[in-house]
Amino acid sequence: MIQSFIATIKVKPGHEADFEALARKLVTAVNTNERGCLLYTLNKGEDPHTFVFMERYVDEEAVKAHRGTEHYRSLGREMGPHMDGPAQVLRLKEVG
């Protein structure tokens, strides 16, 4: 069953460019290396301190594989200091 996520991240003021550079690296790594990922994009919210990842995976196994990759873990650690609190994650299961 297709799994989708919308992860909204608030970034500390003045950290937007650094966060975006790291997040773009993550997007490239995911889209290049994860065949089970159907969609992985970085978007900016209306608030200049808000970024939104839109993610879509073929199944739960692809989600687990994503979370286990070195690029997810290492770039996630690097993005952490730029974040203003934890990500707000909405998990969706496609119907129909």
- Assign 89 a pLDDT band (cuts: 50, 70, 90): very high
Q: In this structure, what token pair is assigned to residue 68?
A: 């286990």
Say yes or no to pLDDT of 96 above 80: no
Say how far apart CA 70 and CA 83 lie, in whole Å: 20
What's the whole-model pTM score?
0.93
77's CB contacts (< 8 A; 6+ apart) are: none
Contact 38, 2 (CB under 8 A): yes
Q: Tell me which residue has tokens 């939104």.
A: 52
- Can you give the pLDDT at residue 70? 96
Say how far apart CA 85 and CA 65 lie, in whole Å: 25
